[in-house]
Amino acid sequence: MKRISIFSIIIALGGMLLVNSCEKDHGYYDPDTLNREFPGDTYAYLQSKPGVYDSLLQAIDRLGLESTVRDSAITLFALTNESFQLAITNLNNIRALADRMPEYIATIDYDHLDTMLTQYIIRGKYVSDSLELQDGRMLVGVRHGYPMHAKLTRSTSSGFLQGGPTLIDFSDTKMSQFRRDWITTTTGSINVATSNGIVHVINNDHVFGFEDFVSRLTYIPPPPSLFRLIGGQWSTSRENSGGPNHIESAQFAFDGNRETKFLLGSFSGAWLQFELNEAAAAGAYTLTSANDFPERDPIDWNLEASHDGEEWVTLDSRSGEIFEERFQIKVYPISNKIAYKFYRLNILRARSSTMQMADWSVNLVTNN
């Protein structure tokens, strides 16, 4: 019988370990995607997790979405109780400063709740593999067709890039084609399959509403625009270099659509003017920031009024104004009770050598 030395065994085992190690170590950890199945519909899945999705179920019930979540082919980016709690707490902290009563899911404005919640309920079934595209995938909200976006990613783990668990980056596009304008959150767990859909669970630190919850529920809309109510003719001291029919010409500062804008390069000042069909007293005016590049926002301006377009009175002056968000409407009340036929916005300075704005309007006097 041939004797095998201990040394030979050690060499053999070492070789096996080396081969196995070389076969498995590709520089990252690439686990199989975890797919779980629940024997019921998506609504029943949420009910099966008491203490986790109670707030989400309450919102679904209030909006009459139970049948959609039970029967329709959907992908749900599920929000835990913590996401709603963060949003409600932020809102009520602000309301407390104004000595206003707290709000809850059962009492907040129905339309705003509906708009925000249906962003998380997507038409169609999308498992994680279907989102593994270079640019991700555009998705559509179930009730209002709001554009959302999802992309499969891997987190960093064990010192390897993309070596950790598979996650989904889920984004509110803010109706913008530019990714820099998007607000993104991340999933905690993914690919829970129900009888009618797919559930991906949003991380607990996500605030319901993609940063819009508080602003939506504390926003006070401006009084009606005199441009719309009365009508008239607009004019400008300087037009976009592409001419009056360009997609960023002055006409788009008057159209009431924040998705369009007026843009001027080599900016050193300009005015926008509106002649009403009949004289009216303006008690406020608004400016709306455009979709991108905050450094193009106007920063200094004044508002003037006239009876004949020749003699002008200054109604308001602003200096160093800042727009904190894109598409932000700022309302500026003015102390005016006189009916004028002409109103003019003199934009004196922008934050850079290019100026852009989405909209300008003058508005009715209010009782506030």
- Dihedral over Cα of 122, 124, 125, 130: its sign: negative
Q: Which residues pair with 350 in a beta bridge?
A: 298
For residues 365 and 303, give the distance between their C-alpha atoms in angstroms, rounded to a whole number: 15
> Which pair of structure tokens corresponds to residue 225?
């625009």
Residue 245 gets which letter from DSSP? T
The C-alpha angle with vertex 103 and arms to 100 and 106, in degrees rounded to 5, equals 150
Interval 258-275: pLDDT, tens: 889 999 999 999 999 999
- Residue 141 is predicted with a pLDDT of 95
Q: Which residues pair with 168 in a beta bridge?
A: 152
Burial class from Cβ neighbours inside 10 Å (0-12, 13-18, 19+) for residue 298 reads buried
Closest CA relative to residue 193, chosen from 114, 129, 118, 116: 129
Q: Kindly give, in sequence order, each residue whose CB lies less than 8 Å from that of residue 51, ignoring residues fewer than 6 positions away.
A: 81
For residues 355 and 269, give the distance between their C-alpha atoms in angstroms, rounded to a whole number: 9
For residues 185 and 207, give the distance between their C-alpha atoms in angstroms, rounded to a whole number: 9
For residues 54 and 354, give the distance between their C-alpha atoms in angstroms, rounded to a whole number: 49
- Residue 156 is predicted with a pLDDT of 57
Q: How many helices (H) and strands (E) does the chain have?
A: 8, 17
For residues 363 and 283, give the distance between their C-alpha atoms in angstroms, rounded to a whole number: 6
- Residue 54 is predicted with a pLDDT of 97
Superfamily name with CATH number, domain 226-364: Galactose-binding domain-like (2.60.120.260)
- Residue 336 is predicted with a pLDDT of 95
For residues 195 and 323, give the distance between their C-alpha atoms in angstroms, rounded to a whole number: 46
- Residue 176 is predicted with a pLDDT of 81
* Phi/psi of residue 226, nearest 5 degrees: -65, -25
What are the 10-residue block averages of pLDDT along the chain, 368 residues in total? 45 43 39 68 97 97 97 98 96 88 94 94 95 92 93 67 74 86 91 96 95 84 93 98 96 94 97 98 96 95 98 97 89 95 98 97 78
Would you identify the CATH topology of the domain 36-218?
Answer: FAS1 domain (2.30.180)
The C-alpha angle with vertex 224 and arms to 306 and 105, in degrees rounded to 5, equals 150
- Residue 150 is predicted with a pLDDT of 97
- The answer to whether the beta carbons of residues 120 and 77 sit under 8 Å apart is yes
Q: Which residues pair with 175 in a beta bridge?
A: none
- Residue 154 is predicted with a pLDDT of 76
- Domains of the chain, residue spans: 36-218, 226-364
For residues 316 and 243, give the distance between their C-alpha atoms in angstroms, rounded to a whole number: 30
